[in-house]
Amino acid sequence: MTNTLPEQLTQLQETIQADAQFADQLEEQLRMHHANRQEVNNSEMVTIDAQFNRIASMVATLVIMILVLAMLPPVQTLAMNILNGLFNRADTNEMTVTRPQTDSASRESEDIPIEQLASVANFDLQFPNAIPSIYTLRDSGYFEDRNTVTLSYDAPGRGLIITQQPLASVDYGLLTDGGSGIGVDAPITPVMVGDFAGEYVIGAWIVEDQQINEDGTVTTQVIWNETVSMRTLRWIEGDVIFEIRAMGGSEGHRYIGLEEMIEIALSME
């Protein structure tokens, strides 16, 4: 059934999210402004206006980034991934990709309520017991083509996605990768998740330029960037590969980095 216009507008509104890095930086600026305001009230040594101007100049320097995980059609098989490591590497740190606008069918997941996931996925799922309290489960999904399950959590300005897939299914596509993998020079850190070997990568593909062509295709230029707020941990446990991906947040303030991701990983059962 077609949604009504009010429903469509509401759905559109729900898709709008402030940039994670912007949201975090503004929160920090507000905290700083709050502290400065109290300081000013107490000492009257600095004017509010001066602080305001300082913060305004910081805001002007914000770098706006768009992060995209999957840019290319699948090209590599997982047999290679398992042999060479848990991440595909692209041949370069910079790519230009042209795709049809409506070419997502092979990567679409079906939203499945979390309590029904176990019945659609034909492997033993694990669920985390140590998700930080600011996160709420946004949705859970199942990629039938590659027998992969995702749990997506949201918190203001940040996100967390846990993905799991039987190794027997990786030939149909690794986890939710679209084939782009990571940049050719992206550092991969070997880690241990309990007794299991894993790998940890910081970075993401950033859109440098994007245009819609006359024939309806979309051409996008992306560059691998290791400074963006995207952390990915992968490990293999038994015959299943797991991934935890954390986005947004800044270090020191409810930040999910490697240590916290391992804690979440160890809580899965």
Q: Which stretch binds other proteins (CB under 8 A): 20-28, 110-118, 122-130, 186-194?
A: 20-28
- Residue nearer to other proteins on the CB measure, 58 or 197: 58
Instruction: Pick one of 50, 59, 120, 192: the residue that binds other proteins (CB under 8 A).
Output: 59
What gap in Å lies between CA 246 and CA 229, rounded to an integer? 8
Determine the residue type at 17. Answer: Q
Nearest approach, Cβ of 138 to other proteins (angstroms)?
9
Tell me if 19 contacts other proteins by CB under 8 A: yes
Instruction: Pick one of 156, 187, 190, 194: the residue that binds other proteins (CB under 8 A).
Output: 156
Q: Please give the C-alpha separations between residue 19 and each of 16, 127, 158, 248, 253, in angstroms, as whole numbers.
A: 9, 28, 9, 9, 17
C-beta of residue 161 within 8 angstroms of C-beta of residue 245: yes
Q: Which of residues 211-250 bind other proteins (CB under 8 A)?
A: 212, 218, 220, 230, 245, 247-248
Q: Which stretch binds other proteins (CB under 8 A): 82-90, 121-129, 185-193, 205-213?
A: 205-213
Q: How many helices (H) and strands (E) does the chain have?
A: 6, 12
Tell me if 124 contacts other proteins by CB under 8 A: no
Determine the residue type at 36. Answer: N
C-beta of residue 237 within 8 angstroms of C-beta of residue 86: no
Instruction: Give the DSSP H or E segment for 83.
Output: helix 78-84
Q: Which of 247, 218, 235, 239 is nearest to 66 (CA)?
A: 247
Q: Which residues contribute to the site for other proteins (CB under 8 A)?
A: 5-6, 9-10, 12-13, 15-20, 22-23, 26-27, 29-31, 33-35, 37-38, 48, 52, 55-56, 59, 62, 64-71, 99-104, 107-108, 134, 150, 152, 154-159, 161, 176, 178, 204, 207, 210, 212, 218, 220, 230, 245, 247-248
